[in-house]
């Protein structure tokens, strides 16, 4: 049984700091009493549930704190399914702090991170995967990540997992029937259909675990700029970032450490790293940079090999062309404004100085980073559980194939069901909830 307290919690729901409005949110059994104790609507307005009112906020001693808007929302049609009150105060932290102090004096308690959403889950308003999506929506960087998080919030993972749970329950029902009516159902026949069903479901679960796509949504697509010194990597990074972030100089090898920046391309976050110029016989500091450059290139989703297109290829360029051949790679012939000294198939001609070819580069980045749309699972926790469930299904199918009895396979099918239950929160404990909600911000 999960602990559920309906004591009254309060927190600032908007980001701290200067801003137009600060919203203080209250939820729990005394939300209504505290609302009535501290807020007085102006004129003859009646307090009605879900109606935004104009008025004044007072502290517990009757001193006016602010002129504000406030709303009382009575259960069950609220975020937490408890009574909820919100005060829309003048921005800045001070008034919100005073309002919170007044609420605490009346008996409210400061909310833990994610506690409002935790209550929404415990009260059955959302399942766990949807509660988790709330935080993903807040943290989403780029349109694609936001869309994916919204799909999860609207039950994307839930629907997928519920369907898998249904298929598993059907398999278990088949096992139970065969065990209960051995004279009517042939065990070998029942085993055959469980094997087929378990394998098919395993495949469905594994195909939903696209870690790369989930990582792209979460942290972005990694593109590493590489090339010998002075070909224009820093200039290109700056042109893409539209700001003077990397230091651009004429002395070879000045970009010694890795400079990073992120851009949004077709709604997806693309992280660009400008690695140190890879040079043979480099001095020590630079040699470390070269080492890191190689590591970054290996880990990148795409290597952008920058060449100076206005000069003939050097031995160093040739070496880099060979070295990056096996990587996902895009060759950029920079300094196109100075003419073309050579042609390379598949290379893009660009100029970091004039902006020529930059749109084509952005389009190519978008194409290479292209995401499969409508991923059923996007959270690492959900994928880990789906993989564990798939493993149990595999074990069950193998056991049956090796002539093990049905009731033994049923143990693994139940274990698979338990894994899926942890995604939706049908099976949770305090520890799991603590770890999920500790990612949240206070006030959500």
Applying CB under 6 A, the residues found at the interface with ligand GDP are 227, 229-235, 248-250, 255, 277, 334-335, 337-338, 351-353
User: Please, what is the minimum distance in Å from the beta carbon of residue 157 to ligand GDP?
Assistant: 43
User: Please, what is the minimum distance in Å from the beta carbon of residue 228 to ligand GDP?
Assistant: 7
| Both tokens assigned to 179 | 């065990």
For 287-294, the CB contacts below 8 A with 24+ separation are 289/255, 289/256, 289/257, 289/258, 292/257, 292/258, 293/224, 293/226, 293/258
In eight-state DSSP terms, residue 336 is G
User: Please, what is the minimum distance in Å from the beta carbon of residue 252 to ligand GDP?
Assistant: 7
User: Please, what is the minimum distance in Å from the beta carbon of residue 337 to ligand GDP?
Assistant: 5
10-24 burial, b if ≥16 CB within 10 A, otherwise e? bbbbbeeeeeeebbb
| Both tokens assigned to 378 | 């996007």
Compare residues 317 and 412 and give the one whose CB is closer to ligand GDP: 317
Compare residues 227 and 425 and give the one whose CB is closer to ligand GDP: 227
User: Please, what is the minimum distance in Å from the beta carbon of residue 220 to ligand GDP?
Assistant: 22
In eight-state DSSP terms, residue 61 is T
DSSP 358-399: HHHHHHHHHHHH---SS-S---HHHHHHHHHHHHHHHHHHHH
DSSP 185-215: S-HHHHHHHHHHHHHHHHHHHHHT--HHHHH
Q: Are strands 302-308 and 221-226 parallel, antiparallel or unpaired?
A: parallel
Compare residues 237 and 371 and give the one whose CB is closer to ligand GDP: 237
Compare residues 262 and 311 and give the one whose CB is closer to ligand GDP: 311
Q: Are 116 and 443 within 8 A, CB to CB? A: yes
Compare residues 338 and 368 and give the one whose CB is closer to ligand GDP: 338
User: Please, what is the minimum distance in Å from the beta carbon of residue 332 to ligand GDP?
Assistant: 10
Distance CA 48, CA 211 (A): 48
User: Please, what is the minimum distance in Å from the beta carbon of residue 389 to ligand GDP?
Assistant: 48
Compare residues 233 and 382 and give the one whose CB is closer to ligand GDP: 233
Distance CA 223, CA 273 (A): 6
- Closest residue by Cα to residue 194 from 423, 416, 427: 416
Q: Are 61 and 38 within 8 A, CB to CB? A: no
Nearest residue to ligand GDP, scored by beta-carbon proximity:
232
User: Please, what is the minimum distance in Å from the beta carbon of residue 162 to ligand GDP?
Assistant: 52
Compare residues 112 and 337 and give the one whose CB is closer to ligand GDP: 337
Compare residues 98 and 316 and give the one whose CB is closer to ligand GDP: 316
């Amino acid at each position: 049984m999960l602990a559920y307290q309906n004591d009254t919690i309060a927190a600032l729901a908007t980001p701290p700091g200067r801003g137009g409005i600060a919203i203080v949110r209250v939820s729990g059994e005394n939300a209504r009493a505290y609302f009535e104790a501290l807020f007085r609507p102006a004129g003859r307005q009646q307090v009605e549930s879900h109606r935004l009112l104009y008025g004044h906020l007072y502290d517990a001693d009757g001193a006016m704190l602010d002129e504000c808007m406030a709303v009382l929302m009575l259960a069950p049609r609220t975020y937490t399914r408890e009574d909820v009150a919100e005060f829309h105060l003048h921005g800045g932290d001070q008034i919100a702090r005073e309002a919170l102090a007044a609420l605490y004096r009346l008996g409210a308690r400061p909310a833990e991170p994610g506690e409002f959403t935790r209550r929404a889950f415990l009260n059955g308003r959302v399942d766990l995967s949807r509660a988790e999506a709330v935080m993903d929506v807040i943290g989403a960087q780029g349109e694609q990540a936001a869309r994916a998080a919204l799909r999860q919030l609207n039950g994307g993972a839930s629907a997928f997992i519920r369907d898998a749970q249904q298929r598993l329950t059907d398999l278990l029902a088949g096992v139970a029937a065969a065990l209960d009516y051995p004279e009517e159902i042939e065990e070998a026949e029942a085993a055959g259909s469980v094997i087929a069903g378990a394998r098919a479901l395993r495949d469905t679960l594994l195909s939903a675990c696209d870690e790369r796509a989930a990582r792209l949504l979460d942290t972005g697509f990694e593109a590493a700029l590489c090339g010998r010194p002075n070909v224009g990597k820093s200039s290109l990074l700056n042109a893409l970032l539209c700001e003077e972030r990397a230091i651009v100089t004429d002395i070879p090898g000045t970009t010694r450490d890795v400079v990073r920046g992120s851009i949004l391309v077709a709604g997806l976050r693309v992280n660009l790293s400008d690695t140190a110029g890879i040079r043979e016989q480099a001095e020590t500091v630079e040699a470390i940079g070269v080492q890191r450059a190689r590591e970054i290139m290996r880990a990148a989703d795409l290597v952008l090999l920058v060449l100076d297109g206005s000069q003939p290829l050097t031995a160093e360029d040739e070496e880099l062309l060979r070295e990056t051949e096996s990587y996902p790679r895009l060759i950029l012939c920079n300094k196109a404004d100075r003419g073309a000294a050579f042609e390379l198939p598949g290379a893009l001609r660009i100029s970091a100085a004039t902006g020529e070819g930059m749109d084509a580069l952005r389009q190519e980045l978008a194409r290479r980073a292209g995401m499969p749309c409508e991923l059923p699972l996007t959270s690492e926790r959900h994928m880990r559980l789906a993989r564990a469930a798939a493993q149990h299904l595999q074990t069950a199918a193998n056991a049956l194939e090796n002539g093990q009895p049905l009731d033994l396979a049923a143990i693994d099918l139940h274990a698979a069901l338990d894994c899926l239950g942890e995604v939706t929160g049908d099976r949770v404990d305090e520890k799991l909830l603590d770890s999920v909600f500790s990612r949240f911000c206070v006030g959500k």
